[in-house]
A and B are shown apart, each in its own frame.
Chain A
Amino acid sequence: MSTPSRHISVKVQTEDFDVAAEYAVMRENNTQDGAIVFFSGLVREMNQGQGVSGLYLEHYPAMTEKSLNGIVEQACERWPLSRVRLIHRVGQLHVSDQIVFVAVSSSHREAAFEACHFIMDFLKKRAPFWKKETTESGDRWVEALEKDQKALDKWENNEN
């Protein structure tokens, strides 16, 4: 159920992003939406019990944008969203750097909250990114967490 006024932007990039600028685009000439929800993910200094000084994000370039667009489309089928902006960075990142940004707008907050959460949960399990962390004891690939699968199952079981 696409609406003619829907605006979607999906980007995979090495450069940082400006949340204020992204938020401004969500609001620009937007008189129909009553809610914008956004999420930004950052590089944490501790992960899985070890100090982390940075990480390298590998991806599968031919598939990445395709899978992210597919996740956004699924969200648009489930909720009446008018704007979605999704940015995922790749390459070398450091502690406290921004990794990912998702913003969604809708007439009402429930759809915006849920769709933002849905997009992040699907991205975690379905988009081809892999993190390799630099820690005190050397480099290591981040292991996938069972809780991320559970988060996805929750949405899939609710599907009607």
Chain B
Amino acid sequence: MVNVLFFAQLKELLGSSGMDLNLTTPCTVNDVKSALIEHNSAWATQLNQPTIMCAVNQTMVEGTHPVNNGDEVAFFPPVTGG
């Protein structure tokens, strides 16, 4: 199982703060994204935005990064702190 989280504008646009996904692992961040779109096809536009960022276990990574059972995978828009 993979714990998916959404933040900020993405959380609002998807109407969800996250979910647990049952996936065959190991897979990649891109596979997690595909599984989310399969779960809810209305999410495709937002999740496929090229600017969407991802963190696996609280570290920012690229789409090809591996995801294992029990990982926390977060998707969010570009950060705007400081």
Contact = CB atoms under 8 A, between A and B. Distances in A.
Interface of A: 41, 57-60, 62-63, 66-67, 88, 99-100, 120, 123-132, 141-144
Contacts, number: 75
Contact of A129 (B51, B59, B81): B81
Chain A contact residues: helix, strand, loop or mixed: mixed
Interface in B62-82: 72, 74, 76-82
Interface stretch (B5-13, B22-30, B31-39, B41-49): B5-13
Contacts of B81: 57, 59, 88, 99-100, 123-124, 127-131
B5 A129 contact: no
Q: Which of B76, B81, B82 has the most CB of A within 10 A?
A: B81
B55 interface: yes
Contacts of B40: none
B82 A58 contact: no
B60 A126 contact: yes
Given A123-B81, A129-B79, A141-B77, A63 B58 contact: yes
Contact of A58 (B7, B60, B72): B7
14 contacts: A60-B76, A62-B72, A63-B55, A63-B59, A63-B74, A66-B59, A88-B82, A100-B82, A124-B81, A125-B78, A128-B74, A131-B81, A141-B8, A141-B9
A131 B77 CA distance: 11
Q: Which of B8, B74, B77, B79 has the most CB of A within 10 A?
A: B79
